[in-house]
Amino acid sequence: MPGTGTMGNLRKNVGEAGEFHLIERIRKILPASRNRDLLVDIGDDTAVVRLDERRALLLTCDIQVEGRHFRFDRTTPYQVGRRAMAVNLSDIASMGGKPTYALVSLGLPADFPVKSYDLLFEGMRDELLPHHAHIIGGNLARTEGFLIVDVTLLGEADLSRVLTRGGARVGDRIFVTGHVGASGAGFQALRTFGKKVPGKYREMVNRHVLPVPRVDLGRRISRSGVASAMIDVSDGVAGDLYHVCTRSGVGAEIHEDLLPLPEHIGEIARKSGTSVLELALHSGEDYELLFTVPPEVSARRIRSLPGDSRVPVTEIGRIVNRREGYCLVDSRGKKRPLTPAGWDHFRS
């Protein structure tokens, strides 16, 4: 049927189109040739602009909407502030950058308490302080019924050390920091137990409520020169590694048994009617770093990455040829296709 064969024609509104299709549309609308100082634009964790021969400027933003990204019956305004900043810090971290300055736009309902407003800013300030980064501007507007927090964060990186999603090569090993699935398990624990979450699950709940962006570790990885590509795990390992594969033109294999899981995740999965693999691969919001390393890099150099932080760095698979696909390998060596689906902010 002429005129109905393309995806575009079937998608009349943004809810049907989905986030990735919408981003693709922007690429087509914007002029293809821009300027030579613009090194990375739409499609990575941050945009990258050359500042001079040595320095790169990183830019990212993240808009969070009450009712979709957070709810005040589960988190405090202070936590919402910290979280809104943390997710942006994680994007800067994934490029190997150092955060510098933030701008904050708020959409505020008229009845939003001034006390909560203060706490929101205190949360954002406190999340930036350890990195010597600061809020330097912003804008306020009134909205009806719900809060909107949009943070733009800038960072700086060594021009020669910026790590994008596009550098992974066949044979590279895949590493992830910390544990995967902790945030998703924490979310399920909150849903299952409400405010009476048993103490042993607290750590996972904390990871969900207050993610810990790996800013220092991201910088160590970038400066060490060992990594070929990096991304932060915001959509889930399966979704984010897929972004790396797409941008790098490669495939990947992840080994199920190698995934660094948090303690007690099995209990949470059972109690909430999901699976450990679902939480570890697809639930997202872990804000760990996933990076690839060429095969010749020594084990000693990898071991030295965390420095004093003691954050685990775990090998979970390897980059393969695109033709070999995108797979999960189980304990018996059996491969099955890995679904990249993560969180779609429009369809979900």
> Binders of a second copy among 41-60, rule CB under 8 A?
41-42, 46-47, 49, 51-52, 57, 59-60
Pairing of strands 148-158, 98-109: antiparallel
- Backbone torsions φ then ψ of 228, nearest 5 degrees: -105, -25
**62 is an interface residue for a second copy by CB under 8 A:** yes
* Binds a second copy (CB under 8 A): choice among 146, 206, 216, 255: 146
* Angular region, 145: left φ>0, alpha ψ -120 to 50, beta rest: left
Number of residues that bind a second copy (CB under 8 A): 76
CB of 299 to a second copy, least distance (A): 36
Distance of CA 172 to the CA centre of its chain: 21
Window contacting a second copy (CB under 8 A); options: 9-17, 158-166, 230-238, 283-291: 9-17
**What are the residues facing 49 on neighbouring strands?**
38, 57
Site for a second copy in 275-304 (CB under 8 A): none
Pairing of strands 38-40, 148-158: unpaired
**101 is an interface residue for a second copy by CB under 8 A:** yes
Tell me the two tokens of residue 162. Answer: 């910026």
**61 is an interface residue for a second copy by CB under 8 A:** yes
Q: Using only the alpha carbons of the chain, give its radius of gyration.
A: 20
* Binds a second copy (CB under 8 A): choice among 117, 322, 327, 343: 117
* Pairwise CA distance, residues 182 & 205, whole Å: 8
**343 is an interface residue for a second copy by CB under 8 A:** no
250 exposed, middle or buried (CB, 10 Å; 0-12, 13-18, 19+)? buried
CB of 198 to a second copy, least distance (A): 33
**What sign does the dihedral 141-145-147-148 (CA atoms) show?**
negative
* Pairwise CA distance, residues 19 & 345, whole Å: 6
Q: Which is nearer to a second copy, 35 or 331 (CB)?
A: 35
Tell me the two tokens of residue 168. Answer: 């992974």
Q: Which is nearer to a second copy, 26 or 258 (CB)?
A: 26
* Binds a second copy (CB under 8 A): choice among 80, 93, 95, 154: 154
CB of 183 to a second copy, least distance (A): 18
Question: Mask: binding to a second copy, 65-84, rule CB under 8 A, as x and -?
Answer: x-xxx---------------
* Binds a second copy (CB under 8 A): choice among 24, 72, 105, 294: 105
Question: Mask: binding to a second copy, 123-142, rule CB under 8 A, as x and -?
Answer: --x---x--x-xxxxxxxxx
* Binds a second copy (CB under 8 A): choice among 22, 159, 277, 297: 22
Window contacting a second copy (CB under 8 A); options: 150-158, 189-197, 274-282, 287-295: 150-158
Window contacting a second copy (CB under 8 A); options: 105-113, 166-174, 183-191, 215-223: 105-113
Short-list 165, 219, 216, CA closest to 41: 165
* Pairwise CA distance, residues 69 & 30, whole Å: 28
